[in-house]
Each structure stands twice: as C-alpha cells, then as structure tokens.
Amino acid sequence: MSTDRLQAELLVTAARLVVDEGLEYGPAKQRARKLIAQQGGIDATRLPLPDNDALEAEVFAHIELFCADTQAGELAQLREVALVWMRRLAAFRPHLSGAVWRGTATRLNDIHLELYCDDPKAAELALIDAGVRYEAASRPGPRGGQPVDVLGFSLPHAGLGQHVGVQLTILDHDDLRGALRADATGRTQRGDAAALQRLMESHDER
C-alpha cells in the first residue's frame, strides 16, 4: 500500500476513534498511526500525523455517514449541561472548548470547561461547597507546557441514559488573553456562556 493510501487510512481511522470511542484528537491520531503502520508493515514514525483541521473535517464526514440521526440530539443535550455548569461557575469566567464547543461531540465525549481564575483553589472550594465529588489531575498548560490543574467529575443524565463527564481545566486569568483568536476557518477554539447560548439558538432555528 502506498504512503498516500496509508495516510488516508490513518485519517479515516483517527476520525472513527474520535467518534466511536470518544477519544481526543491527539490520542486518536497516535493510536491510528500505530494501527495503520502495523497493517502496512512499516515503521509508525514514517507516517506523519494529520493536522487537526483535516481530522475535524473527517470527523464531520464520519458523523454524517454513520450517526447523523443521533449525533445532533446528543450534542444538544451535552451543550445544555455545559451551559448549566458555565452559569454555576460564572465567577471563574468559564469557556467551553473541545468537541462539545466545536460541534463534533457524541454521548461519549466529556464536556471541557476552561476556568480562568485569580485564585486557582477557589474553583475547588466551589465544587466542595456544592457537594461535588471530583478527581484532581494535571495536564500541560499554555505557558510553556507548565502543568495546570484539571478537576473531573461525572453527572447522571436521564436523557442520555448515562453519566456525563465534566473536565474543568484551571487556568490563570491572564491566559484568557488571546484565547479567543479565530483559526484559519474563522472559528474559535472556545467560547463563553453567551457565545454558547447563541450557538445553541442558531441550531434551534434550523
């Protein structure tokens, strides 16, 4: 199989993993590369990873082909949950990111909220005061990859018939500067509660 064909297969496989298993783009691309390299009998490092724009386009194509009848409803319900928590956490300038914001989410995706806090521990205290049981972790942040705190919890959702995961990434207030820049397609990687509300209303009008 040619390299071009392998790269095309990699893109399709990564999109399937994003939609069918709820993987984030990075892990989906890495796993897809290993799978396709094994099938082609080549070194995985010889297959360059697709960029996120190409993968997102393939994700939308996969959704349209395989789950167009369910994805829109699942996305709408996840966005409703996101909006509820953005309003509850309004003091921390919440912004929605990830698949729920970009419109590719299914019931398998977590809701990713970025909180821009003057006091990083204040968000934890707010969850404790609300009686929310959460798990703390960390991931590389926007400042040279320095780790930032991530608070995760799940909630039962009757409409989806399962628990919905919520991930809160705690960022410094100054990190909000430049965070709303549009990409090459004119879309942003995140939005606040007002932007999400407008997005939901625009879909309702279709």
Verdict on whether the full-model pTM lies above 0.85: yes
- 59 token code pair: 């994700």
> The tokens 């009757």 sit on which residue?
158
Residue 81: which domain range? 70-204
28 plus 122 within the same structural domain? no
pLDDT digits (tens, 9 = 90+) for 46-59: 889 999 999 999 99
- Domain boundary pick from 14, 33, 66: 66
Q: Give the mean model confidence (pLDDT) for residues 72-94.
A: 96
- Domain boundary pick from 27, 48, 66: 66
Provide the domain count of the chain: 2
pLDDT, mean over the chain: 91
58 plus 93 within the same structural domain? no
pLDDT at res. 206: 43
Write out the E strands in 3-146: 95-97, 111-117, 135-140
CATH number at 121 reads 3.30.460.10
Q: Give the mean model confidence (pLDDT) for residues 101-127.
A: 93
pLDDT digits (tens, 9 = 90+) for 142-175: 877 789 999 999 999 999 999 999 999 999 887 8
